[in-house]
């Protein structure tokens, strides 16, 4: 806080006038992820957090899941095997099964196990334009698995990345990275290409019980994007990406777990867009993705290796229209085909597959100058659970200029994954004889369902240069999917409730200082028959603060505080103690022979070592430096 107070004291009063009220209102983020319609956040039908480039840079985070620490109510932890756990208001496990995660509209949610494969995602933090996080169910817009939240990662347009850019990072705990990007244009063609190599070793090797944990990973990726303006109204965008990784994994006291993994991922993505004007456009979007993991291990006489392949092919059509001066609409449809192959997890050499179809509509009606009515629904047919409808209705009422009250009632579903429905995890000998079966296929599962009630407020205080976003929520979850027994089988459980509130504050008191603060409080009420650990899966209180200050002469200082209460990570996680993490970053930008350079020093967890996901996963103090060139 000394950074904040010092900035206010040192900055002259005349500088306060430098930020006008019009500048302040212009800073209000415009988002697309809540309803597929372009809206300022105070007119969105749900609470939305925007993580912009300035926040990404100031945080010092180099791994995308870490950035979600800047969103109220989110819990983030690295688990093992280069995987991350992310939760929102609880139900947090190693798979992030209840989020829809998109990169430029392409879903990276795994239908095989429910995991989000953050580690093999071929995307550099430096290429992210912003991240829009819809805090709450949004199945009316994005379908099943937009259950608790939608995380929409939007990359930079090639027009934003001209020339060549290189960045290097090197630091303690095995952290290093290098990225090279080149962008340009030829007539109506704009393009960019990024090549990157990243090394991580998240935790201390020695654990409190004397065993060793191996988590060093090396990941390489290449991605590209090209946008071609076909005409004044038409544009074609093509993206591709591929990654490969060599990851260590496992514990020294668990010899039957693979000690290394070879991973790879590829995708290709096409969008064709015709825009007659800002309120009249249509788009066709298609992509194909493929993810492979190989982890051979033979501990005689057991073959404990893992080998799986997942694919997804998706085609979508969307149209946005202004029907009348007071009416706007977005509608469309989507067809998706998914496959998964894994002898270990499904006990068959055959590929499992399924096709789902969706149709959606979102309407916006400006009933009065101070009243915005929004409604929408998603009709979806899933290969496991049949047909469901996910509706939403929201009212945004302007109480006074700059002060909007939002009421939101929505329903969403989460379809079971292939593993939850058909998983048959089996260990065999090297000759193929079964020796142990840990999971068996489930009886037909119903989708999880959530009924969410929300009261939100977005307030703008120009005199104070402050934006405030708050919400109270009460969610009821039905048919929760959980597993038990030996061997384990998944089944639907009784309903339970989650209630609490989120608070988000953005403050820009003087041109040199920006501050973002987030707070969340959540309570889960559930019987032990649902899941005996469920009520502990949300920290009662969580808080984060990110402050950035321009020191002058190209120098910038930033500091982050991240506080999480005690919680129990579900599935394979442990009870982790409450912790407070302190990060700091000092950077300087300057020009040299016509090139722009930035050097930075980042300290992470400058306080005490804390536990992450498991009590053996110890995140200690560490420092890294970075250097970037732009020419």
Please, are residues 403 and 397 in contact by the beta-carbon 8 Å criterion?
no
Q: How far apart (Å, rounded) are the C-alpha atoms in residues 103 and 106?
A: 5
Q: How far apart (Å, rounded) are the C-alpha atoms in residues 348 and 360?
A: 36
Q: How far apart (Å, rounded) are the C-alpha atoms in residues 459 and 470?
A: 9
**DSSP letter at 121?**
-
User: Residue 360: phi, psi to the nearest 5?
Assistant: -140, 160
Element (H, E) at 259: none
Q: What's the structural domain count of the chain?
A: 1
pLDDT of residue 258: 64
Q: In percent, how much of the chain has pLDDT > 90?
A: 75
What is the total residue count of the chain?
631
What's the domain range around 462? 2-630
Helix (DSSP H) and strand (DSSP E) numbers for the chain:
6, 41
pLDDT of residue 76: 94
Measure CA 540 to chain center. 22
Cβ neighbours of residue 162 closer than 8 Å, sequence gap 6 or more: 183, 184, 185
Residue 27: pLDDT band with limits 50, 70, 90? low
Give the position of tokens 């829809």. 100
pLDDT of residue 216 exceeding 60, the answer is yes
pLDDT of residue 553: 94
pLDDT of residue 132 exceeding 80, the answer is yes
pLDDT of residue 332: 97
pLDDT of residue 617: 86
Q: How far apart (Å, rounded) are the C-alpha atoms in residues 103 and 155?
A: 7
Q: How far apart (Å, rounded) are the C-alpha atoms in residues 343 and 346?
A: 5
Q: How far apart (Å, rounded) are the C-alpha atoms in residues 407 and 371?
A: 11
* Of 387 and 17, the one with more pLDDT: 387
User: Tell me: the pLDDT tens digits for 258-278?
Assistant: 667 888 999 999 999 999 988
pLDDT of residue 15: 39
Residue 221: pLDDT band with limits 50, 70, 90? very high
Residue 303's nearest CA partner among 436, 427, 434 is: 427
Residue 204: pLDDT band with limits 50, 70, 90? confident
The pair of three-digit structure tokens given for residue 78, joined into one six-digit string: 């690295």
User: Tell me: the pLDDT tens digits for 323-350?
Assistant: 999 999 999 999 999 999 998 899 898 9
Residue 241: pLDDT band with limits 50, 70, 90? very high
Cβ neighbours of residue 584 closer than 8 Å, sequence gap 6 or more: 60, 557, 558, 559, 560, 602, 603, 606
User: Tell me: the pLDDT tens digits for 160-192?
Assistant: 999 999 999 999 988 999 999 999 999 999 999
Strand 99-103 and strand 149-155: the pairing is parallel
pLDDT of residue 17 exceeding 50, the answer is no
Residue 307: pLDDT band with limits 50, 70, 90? confident
**What is the pLDDT averaged over residues 283-287?**
98
Dump the DSSP string for 337-403: EEEEEEHHHHS-SSPEEEEEEEEEEEEEEEEETTEEEEEEEEEEEETTTEEEEEEEEEEEEEEETTE
Report the SS3 class of residue 110. coil
**What is the pLDDT averaged over residues 400-415?**
96
User: Tell me: the pLDDT tens digits for 61-90?
Assistant: 999 999 999 999 999 998 877 788 999 999
Per 3-state DSSP, what percentage of the chain is helix, strand, and coil (rounded to 5)?
Answer: 10, 60, 30
The pair of three-digit structure tokens given for residue 271, joined into one six-digit string: 């969008």
**What is the pLDDT averaged over residues 4-27?**
44
Q: How far apart (Å, rounded) are the C-alpha atoms in residues 272 and 405?
A: 37
Please, are residues 611 and 577 in contact by the beta-carbon 8 Å criterion?
yes
pLDDT of residue 299: 67
Cβ neighbours of residue 269 closer than 8 Å, sequence gap 6 or more: 104, 106, 237, 238, 239, 240, 285, 286, 287
Residue 245's nearest CA partner among 64, 62, 124, 120 is: 120
Give the position of tokens 């050499």. 349
Q: How far apart (Å, rounded) are the C-alpha atoms in residues 44 and 140?
A: 13
pLDDT of residue 14 exceeding 80, the answer is no
**What is the pLDDT averaged over residues 608-625?**
91
**Degrees to nearest 5, angle at CA 84 with 32 and 63:** 65
Q: In percent, how much of the chain has pLDDT > 70?
A: 93
Strand 84-88 and strand 74-78: the pairing is antiparallel
Average model confidence (pLDDT) across the chain: 90
**What is the pLDDT averaged over residues 478-486?**
93
What's the pTM?
A: 0.93
**What is the pLDDT averaged over residues 37-52?**
95
pLDDT of residue 485 exceeding 80, the answer is yes
pLDDT of residue 464 exceeding 70, the answer is yes
pLDDT of residue 93 exceeding 90, the answer is no
Residue 3: pLDDT band with limits 50, 70, 90? very low
CATH number at residue 269: 2.40.170.20
The pair of three-digit structure tokens given for residue 254, joined into one six-digit string: 């668990």
pLDDT of residue 550 exceeding 70, the answer is yes
**What is the pLDDT averaged over residues 138-150?**
93
**What is the pLDDT averaged over residues 142-149?**
92
Please, are residues 107 and 346 in contact by the beta-carbon 8 Å criterion?
no
pLDDT of residue 257: 65
Residue 535's nearest CA partner among 573, 571, 497 is: 497
pLDDT of residue 511 exceeding 90, the answer is yes
Residue 120: pLDDT band with limits 50, 70, 90? confident
User: Residue 529: phi, psi to the nearest 5?
Assistant: -65, -25
Of 171-185, 429-443, 534-548, the range with the lowest mean pLDDT is 429-443
pLDDT of residue 19: 46
pLDDT of residue 115: 83
Q: How far apart (Å, rounded) are the C-alpha atoms in residues 152 and 132?
A: 5
Q: How far apart (Å, rounded) are the C-alpha atoms in residues 7 and 548?
A: 10
Q: How far apart (Å, rounded) are the C-alpha atoms in residues 289 and 626?
A: 32
Dump the DSSP string for 269-285: EEEEEEEEETTEEEEEE
Of 2-16, 41-55, 214-228, 579-593, the range with the lowest mean pLDDT is 2-16
Residue 5: pLDDT band with limits 50, 70, 90? very low
């Amino acid at each position: 806080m000394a950074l904040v107070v010092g900035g206010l004291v040192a900055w002259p009063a005349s500088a306060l006038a430098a930020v006008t009220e019009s500048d302040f209102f212009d800073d209000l983020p415009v988002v697309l992820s809540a309803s597929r319609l372009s809206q300022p956040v105070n007119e969105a039908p749900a609470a939305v957090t925007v993580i912009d480039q300035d926040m990404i840079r100031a945080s010092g985070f180099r791994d995308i899941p870490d950035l979600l620490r800047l969103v109220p109510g989110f819990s983030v932890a690295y688990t093992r095997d280069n995987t991350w756990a992310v939760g929102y208001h609880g139900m947090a496990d190693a798979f992030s099964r209840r989020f829809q995660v998109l990169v430029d509209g392409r879903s990276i949610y795994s239908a095989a196990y429910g995991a989000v494969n953050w580690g093999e995602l071929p995307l550099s933090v430096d290429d992210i334009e912003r991240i829009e996080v819809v805090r709450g169910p949004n199945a009316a817009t994005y379908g099943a698995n937009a259950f608790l939240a939608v995380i929409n990662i939007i990359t930079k347009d090639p027009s934003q990345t001209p020339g060549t850019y290189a960045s290097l990072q090197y630091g303690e705990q095995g952290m290093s990275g290098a990225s090279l990007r080149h962008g340009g244009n030829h007539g109506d063609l704009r393009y960019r290409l990024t090549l990157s190599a990243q090394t991580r070793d998240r935790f201390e090797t020695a654990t409190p019980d004397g065993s060793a944990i191996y988590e060093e990973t090396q990941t390489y990726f290449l991605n590209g994007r090209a946008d071609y303006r076909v005409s004044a109204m038409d544009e074609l965008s093509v993206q591709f990406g591929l990654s490969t990784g060599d990851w260590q994994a496992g514990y020294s006291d668990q010899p039957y777990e693979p000690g290394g993994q070879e991973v790879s991922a590829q995708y290709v993505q096409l969008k064709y867009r015709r825009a007659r004007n800002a309120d009249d456009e249509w788009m066709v979007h298609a992509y194909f993705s493929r993810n492979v993991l190989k982890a051979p291990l033979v501990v005689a006489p057991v073959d404990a290796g893992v080998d799986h392949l997942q694919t997804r092919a998706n085609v979508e059509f969307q149209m946005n229209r202004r029907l009348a001066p007071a009416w706007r609409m977005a509608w469309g449809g989507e067809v998706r085909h998914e496959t998964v192959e894994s002898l270990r997890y499904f006990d068959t050499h055959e590929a499992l597959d399924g096709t789902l179809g969706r149709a959606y509509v979102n309407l916006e009606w400006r009933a009065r100058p101070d009243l915005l009515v929004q409604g929408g629904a998603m009709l979806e047919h899933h290969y496991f659970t049949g047909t469901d409808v996910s509706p939403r209705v929201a009212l945004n009422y302007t109480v006074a200029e700059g002060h909007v009250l939002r009421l939101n009632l929505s329903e969403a579903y989460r379809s079971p994954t292939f593993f939850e429905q058909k998983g048959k995890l089996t260990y065999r000998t090297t000759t193929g004889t079964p020796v142990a079966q840990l999971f068996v296929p489930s009886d037909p599962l119903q989708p999880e369902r959530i009924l969410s009630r929300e009261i939100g407020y977005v307030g703008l205080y120009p005199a104070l240069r402050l934006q405030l976003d708050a919400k109270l929520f009460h969610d009821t979850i039905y048919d929760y999917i959980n597993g038990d027994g030996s061997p384990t089988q998944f089944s639907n459980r009784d309903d339970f409730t989650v209630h609490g509130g989120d608070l988000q504050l953005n403050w820009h008191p003087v041109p040199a200082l920006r501050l973002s603060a987030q707070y969340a409080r959540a309570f889960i009420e559930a019987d032990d028959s649902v899941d005996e650990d469920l009520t502990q899966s949300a920290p009662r209180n969580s808080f984060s603060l990110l402050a950035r200050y321009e020191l002058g002469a190209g120098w910038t200082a930033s500091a982050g505080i991240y506080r999480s209460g005690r919680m129990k990570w579900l599935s394979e996680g442990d009870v982790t103690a409450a912790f407070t993490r302190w990060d700091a970053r000092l950077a300087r930008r300057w020009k040299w022979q016509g090139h722009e350079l930035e050097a930075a020093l980042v300290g992470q967890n400058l306080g005490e070592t804390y536990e992450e996901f498991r009590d053996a996963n110890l995140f200690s103090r560490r420092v890294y430096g970075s250097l970037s060139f732009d020419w």
